[in-house]
């Protein structure tokens, strides 16, 4: 099966031929310069918002000093939220109340947490998952429904609960190493289409035979 057109806003066509409005390719709908997202990453919502960027990352403003970076081929379910660094309050003083944000003169440049939040490639974020400021989620990870994620999540880990903890890994360590080395998400479009069967059937050896020559 071919991939959807990389410039398609709505990649799913219903049986009646209409486009399903509840799923979007995020790189086609995000206009916030602090929100970077890779090709073919999609988000779904039962009540499609007008502003997908604000819906997913409500504290990531165009003037925020951190970035939210999401890789290619990620799947983002209904209710997922990214709570980015601009949401954090300083704990250095006697109060956490953010006095400077209420004055134009003191608001500029005031941000106590500057950490980027980074999601790798081929990550599946389940229903209602929450990703906290500064989280770094490795390639191929699965974030379970309702999980609250912070810190470093290793590649191909399955994370559940609050706080989010690694339940297990999707594959044996040597398979994870091979997948990381293959980095199939960076392959040319035609090579990925040709590799669809190997990807869906979990055939790493076949995937290796289909890998395009390294540049």
What pTM was computed for the model? 0.94
Q: How far is CA 25 from the centre of its chain?
A: 12
The pLDDT profile of the chain, 215 residues, written as one tens digit per residue, is 578 888 999 999 999 999 999 999 999 999 999 999 999 999 999 999 999 999 999 999 888 999 999 999 999 999 999 999 999 999 999 999 999 989 888 887 789 999 999 999 999 999 999 999 999 999 999 999 999 999 999 999 999 999 999 999 999 999 999 999 999 999 999 999 999 999 999 999 999 999 998 76
Tokens at residue 198, please?
Answer: 């190997």
The contacts of residue 79 (CB under 8 Å, 6+ apart) are: 45, 127, 128, 129
- Which pLDDT does position 106 carry in this prediction? 85
State the pairing for strand pair 157-160/165-169: antiparallel
Rg for the chain, CA atoms, rounded:
19
| Under 8 Å between Cβ of 1 and 196 | yes
- Which pLDDT does position 1 carry in this prediction? 57
Task: Check if 189 is active-site.
Answer: no
Burial class (CB within 10 angstroms; exposed 0-12, middle 13-18, buried 19+) of 82: buried
- Which pLDDT does position 110 carry in this prediction? 86
**Which one-letter DSSP state was computed for residue 66?**
S
- Which pLDDT does position 97 carry in this prediction? 94
- Which pLDDT does position 108 carry in this prediction? 76
Catalytic pick from 10, 89, 121, 189?
89
For residue 75, the tally of other CB atoms under 10 A from its CB is 17
CATH among 1.10.3720.10, 1.25.40.10, 3.40.30.10, 2.160.10.10 for 23-170: 2.160.10.10
Domain with CATH 2.160.10.10 in the chain: 23-170
């Amino acid at each position: 099966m071919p991939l959807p057109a990389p410039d398609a806003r709505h990649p799913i066509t219903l049986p009646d031929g209409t486009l399903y409005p509840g799923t979007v390719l995020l790189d086609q709908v995000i206009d916030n310069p602090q929100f970077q997202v890779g090709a073919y990453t999609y988000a779904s919502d039962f009540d499609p918002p007008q502003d997908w960027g604000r819906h997913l990352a409500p504290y990531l403003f165009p003037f925020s000093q951190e970035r939210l970076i999401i890789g290619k081929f990620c799947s983002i379910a209904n209710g997922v939220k990214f709570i980015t660094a601009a949401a954090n309050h300083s704990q250095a003083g006697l109060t956490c109340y953010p006095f400077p944000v209420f004055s134009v003169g003191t608001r500029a440049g005031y941000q106590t947490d500057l950490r980027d939040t980074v999601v790798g490639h081929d990550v599946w974020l389940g229903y209602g998952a929450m990703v906290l400021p500064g989280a770094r989620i490795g390639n191929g990870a699965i974030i379970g429904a309702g999980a609250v994620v912070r810190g470093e999540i290793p590649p191909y880990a399955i994370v559940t609960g609050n706080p989010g903890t690694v339940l297990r890994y999707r594959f044996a360590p040597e398979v994870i190493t091979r997948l990381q080395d293959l980095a199939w998400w960076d392959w040319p479009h035609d090579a990925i289409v040709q590799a669809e069967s190997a990807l869906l059937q979990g055939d790493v050896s076949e995937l290796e035979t289909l890998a395009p020559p390294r540049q």
